[in-house]
Structure 1
Amino acid sequence: MKAFVVTAPGEAGVQEVEPPVARPGEVVVDIARVGVCGTDVEFFTGEMQYLHDGHARYPLRLGHEWAGTVSAAGDGVDQAWLGRRVTGDTMLGCGNCLRCGRGQHHVCEFREEIGIRGGRPGALAEQLAVPVTALHALPDDVDDTQGALVEPGGNALRAVRAAALAPGDRVLILGPGTIGLLAALFARAAGAEVHLAGLPGAENFPRALGFQHVWTADSVPPLPFDAVIDASNSPGLPAKAVELVEPGKRVVYIGLSGSPSLVDTRKLALKDVTAVGVLSGSPGLSGAIEQYASGAVDPRPLVAATVGLHEVSEVLAGVRIGPGPKIHVDPREGDQ
């Protein structure tokens, strides 16, 4: 089959590889749609920390935001999965440790991550092998585009849940990228008054989604924010989040900068602020599917374009296509 493979920093392309086989407990999925993520960009540039600490190495097959149809099932798998449209969890815990036992497989020390960690091939290919335990069925009301947005949606939904918003609360989201905008959509669906702040020139797209309160990071008005969600990659904004949040309220950190960010814990203590870190959409995947299916949240406007495998290198190199922050890939598209 054809797959997109990164062989070294800045070096990647479509290769012919052996198709996956459904081992016991696994299924093979025919991939319909894959999202390109900032993590994929870091692997392409060589900046991703996993490359430096031994959790990942080249060659890499990327892709962890996906949707498709089960085409084969290994031993021990319920045959009812065959023909079902699915998406799946990126985080594959060992299943034996204390963290997995308490339902926190996404922080398992021994976990694999599809398309990211432990040599697990990703979904930028015609087919993908996945443990059946990681699958989430997609209802007919959730199309392939929405299905490939379940993984980032799960992350964003977890951030909004961590903010503990009540209807009418005011939330500020720093960083109007894919996760920040998805968090804004979930927060709006929960009845919050949503404010977004980003770089100058990034105001138009959030406004096109119906968000009226859009600022630059330096022009945020002095309002009482019941929660601040940092979905940016700026090393300076985590501290800014603590300054902007109301005393006794919450800051949520879901964005990651390329260098260490500093937070003065004295301010956390003196303002009685709760700070929450969010890794992985795993506990939020089902909730994201439910809200997409009900129409409470429609993430599809975030997708600027859908391209084929041969165009992925340009996307990873920073070529922009359209106003939305997300690029999707259809491995079946074009003469590949």
Structure 2
Amino acid sequence: MRALVIIGPGRAEVQEVEPPPAAPGQVVVDVERVGLCGTDVEFFTGHMSYLHSGEAAYPIRIGHEWCGTVGAVGAGVDGSWLGRRVTGDTMLGCRRCARCRDGRQHVCADRFEIGVRGGFPGALAERVAVPATALHALPDSVDDTLGALVEPGGNALRAVRAAQVGEGDRLLVLGPGTIGLLVALFGRARGAEVHLMGRDDRDLALARSLGFTSTWTADTLPDLPFDAVVDASTAPQLPALAARVVEPGKRVVYIGLSSAPSTLDTRALVLKDVTAVGVLSASAGLAGTIEAYAGGAVDARPLVAATVGLDEAAAVLAGERPPGAGPGPKVHVDPRR
């Protein structure tokens, strides 16, 4: 089968590789759509921290935002999965340790991450093998575009849950990229008054087209009481800003990762009695995201600028914008092309 393989910094190619078997406890999914994200770009550039910690190594097959149809099931797997449209959890814990038994498999010390950690092959290929325990079925109302947006949506939903915002609460989202816009969409679906801060007007254009009228830059951000702040940016100075502008006794959520260490004076948290939460994965948010997409509470499809074939994926990782791409920050790949 064909798969995209990153063989070194700035070097990726489509290769013919052995298709995965349907091993015991696993299914093989015929992949229909895959999202490219910042983590994938970091693997392509060589900046991804796992490459330097030994948790990942070249060559690597990426792709952890995906959907497809189950084409084969292994021994011990319920046969009803065959032929079903699915997506799945990226985080694959050992299922034996205390963290896994406690529902925290996404921070299991011995976890695999599909297309990311431990050499587990990703979905940027014609087929991908996935443990059946990681699967989530997709209803017909969730098309391929939304199906491949479940994983980033799960991260965003977890961030909104951690922010504990509801009807009438004022939520500030820092960074209008894919995760930031998803946070805004899920926050709005919960009835929050959503504000977004970006670098400039161009950075905020898509947010405005999605109906978010309270959009700001660092220079124009108003002095308002924010009930929660979600930092979905990659700017090392913004974690401190989040703690500075949130209301005393309220919550800040950190989901963005900067390439350089960020500075945060913990006195800003202590003296304001602020709760700070970090969000690593989508695991606990996948089912809720599928429900929100299926019911129409959140429509994330405008975030996808283009869908390309497997042969074009390396150019996108290198920073090229597909011809005719829309304004969205996300590019999808259809490995069947």
TM-score by length of 1: 0.98
What one-letter code is carried by the residue in structure 1 that aligns with 2:196?
L
Identity of aligned residues (%): 71
| 1:268-279 equivalences in 2 (<5 Å) | 268-279=269-280
Contact 1:174–1:217 (CA under 8 A) maintained in structure 2:
no
**Alpha-carbon distance in 1 for matches of 2:300, 2:21:** 32
Deviation digits for residues 274-331 of structure 1 (CA, Å, limit 9, x no counterpart): 0000010000000000000000001101000000011111111111333100000000
- Unmatched tracts of structure 1, length 5 or more: none
Which residue does the alignment assign to 2:298? 297
**How many residues get paired?**
333
Which residue does the alignment assign to 1:9? 9
Which residue does the alignment assign to 1:312? 313
Which residue does the alignment assign to 2:247? 246
Matched, 1:69 2:69: yes
Deviates more, 1:194-203 or 1:289-298: 194-203
**Alpha-carbon distance in 1 for matches of 2:29, 2:204:** 38
What one-letter code is carried by the residue in structure 1 that aligns with 2:258?
S
**Alpha-carbon distance in 2 for matches of 1:217, 1:76:** 55
Which residue does the alignment assign to 1:332? 336
Which residue does the alignment assign to 1:263? 264
**Alpha-carbon distance in 2 for matches of 1:308, 1:216:** 36
Contact 1:62–1:123 (CA under 8 A) maintained in structure 2:
yes
Which residue does the alignment assign to 2:230? 229
C-alpha RMSD of the superposition: 0.6
Deviation of 1:267 (Å): 1.1
Q: Secondary structure at the match of 1:207?
A: helix
What one-letter code is carried by the residue in structure 2 that aligns with 1:98?
A
**Alpha-carbon distance in 2 for matches of 1:54, 1:91:** 17
Deviation of 1:259 (Å): 1.0
TM-score by length of 2: 0.98
Q: Secondary structure at the match of 2:203?
A: coil
| 1:57-136 equivalences in 2 (<5 Å) | 57-136=57-136
Deviation digits for residues 155-213 of structure 1 (CA, Å, limit 9, x no counterpart): 00000000001200000000000000000000000000000001112121100011001
**Alpha-carbon distance in 1 for matches of 2:318, 2:234:** 18
**Alpha-carbon distance in 2 for matches of 1:242, 1:161:** 18
Deviation digits for residues 96-137 of structure 1 (CA, Å, limit 9, x no counterpart): 100000000000000000000000000000000000000000
- Unmatched tracts of structure 2, length 5 or more: none
Which residue does the alignment assign to 1:162? 162
Deviation of 1:216 (Å): 1.2
Deviation of 1:218 (Å): 2.9
Q: Secondary structure at the match of 1:156?
A: helix
Matched, 1:23 2:23: yes
Which residue does the alignment assign to 2:208? 207
What one-letter code is carried by the residue in structure 2 that aligns with 1:325?
P
Which residue does the alignment assign to 1:281? 282
What one-letter code is carried by the residue in structure 2 that aligns with 1:20?
P
Q: Secondary structure at the match of 1:203?
A: helix
**Alpha-carbon distance in 2 for matches of 1:33, 1:218:** 39
Contact 1:30–1:127 (CA under 8 A) maintained in structure 2:
yes
**Alpha-carbon distance in 1 for matches of 2:249, 2:333:** 43
Deviates more, 1:172-181 or 1:313-322: 313-322
Q: Secondary structure at the match of 1:259?
A: coil
**Alpha-carbon distance in 2 for matches of 1:197, 1:315:** 26
**Alpha-carbon distance in 1 for matches of 2:14, 2:204:** 36
